[in-house]
Amino acid sequence: MLPVTVSYRDLGLNIDELKDKARPFTVVNGIPIDDGGKRKILDFGMFEGNAQDFIKSKGPLYLKNTVGPKRKALIDAGLVDFKDLVDKKGSVILLKDLPELDKPVKVYRSPSNTLKTLKNNLHTAESEIYLRKTEKAYLFSPDGNEIFSKSGGKSSVSFTQNEVDKMPGNILTHNHPSSGGSFSKQDIGLLVNRDLKEIRAVGKEYVHSFSLTEGAPGKEAAQALIFSEYKKADQIVFSDLMKKIHKNEVTIDFANKNHHHMIWSRVNDRIEWVEYKRKIWKP
């Protein structure tokens, strides 16, 4: 039997329900009290969420005034999140200890006369996204034209049906912020089921590529065989990595970063129409 929660009005009290995790807030002007100023209340109320949600809800100007223009630029570029601006003790991290916006990140521009090839356009886009804290994807045609770009969360990018319909025959590249590692099963499922020509994933150290060559069967048969080999390889790789961790031959960090790469390398060796590659990333 499940308990039933009644409302305040069911109990005869003419009041609204309490909002879940709502917190009071007050916005005042910035006149220093030491200078004899009286702080005027500009806004007040209740807000559901944390400080980050509140600041973002107030718009870009409020965000800029709160964290400063340079930190806002880093947030907008996906290089840092709010939690990256302070240390574990709550102290503000200095700008010199945060990523530099103008050094490692190359701003992506739409294809032009100076970026004529697919290789150049992929490299430019991947140079923009490889250090992001959240995922971002680009879809290119085989001749190098950008079809669309899409930003996502920390571990995924969601696509609309209209975006999915544009994928067949084209190349999708995206970044992996968490570990910078190789493809998930979902990535390869997207490649197979949406008829992508190639899927790519870039991180701080490597860029990965996966495609199906001539001789690949239909979608269902291809995915079934790939995932079957993936399962077998996963069991072998996991067991081998665990043994090496216990013997202190590899670190847990190494295992996390290389687990999927080792799996897909085995799948590549087992299926002749699978082409999987990993190269050292050079922005």
Within its chain, how far is the Cα of 31 from the centroid? 39
List of E strands, the chain: 22-28, 41-48, 136-140, 146-151, 171-175, 198-202, 206-212, 274-280
CA dist., res. 252 & res. 184, Å (int): 18
Q: How far apart are CA 263 and CA 16, in angstroms?
A: 55
pLDDT band at 203 (very low <50, low <70, confident <90, very high): very high
Tokens of 86: 């302070």
Contact between 168 and 142 under an 8 Å Cβ cutoff? The reply is no
Q: Tell me: the pLDDT tens digits for 99-145?
A: 776 554 444 444 444 345 789 999 999 999 999 999 999 999 998 88
- Token pair 């970026």 is at which residue? 115
Residues 7-20: tens digit of each pLDDT: 555 556 665 555 55
Higher pLDDT, 128 or 83: 128
Domain ranges of the chain: 22-58, 65-99, 118-280
SS percent in the chain: helix, strand, coil, step 5:
40, 20, 45
How far is 86 from 108, CA to CA, in rounded Å? 29
Helix axes 60-67, 69-76, angle to 10 degrees: 120
- Nearest 10 degrees: Cα torsion 184, 188, 193, 197: 140
pLDDT band of 65, cuts 50, 70, 90: confident
Could you give the CA distance from residue 38 to residue 49 in angstroms, rounded to a whole number? 29
| Dist CA 127 CA 104 (whole Å) | 8
**How would residue 22 be classed by pLDDT, with cut points 50, 70 and 90?**
low
Quote the Cα angle for 77-78-83, to 5°.
Answer: 125
Angle at 159 between CA 156 and CA 164, to 5 degrees: 130
pLDDT at 200 exceeding the cut of 60: yes
On whether the CB atoms of residues 205 and 281 are closer than 8 A, the answer is yes
- Joined tokens for residue 183: 């493809």
Q: Please report, as a single letter, which amino acid is at residue 197.
A: K
Q: Which of 36-40, 77-81, 130-134, 265-269 has the lowest mean pLDDT?
A: 36-40
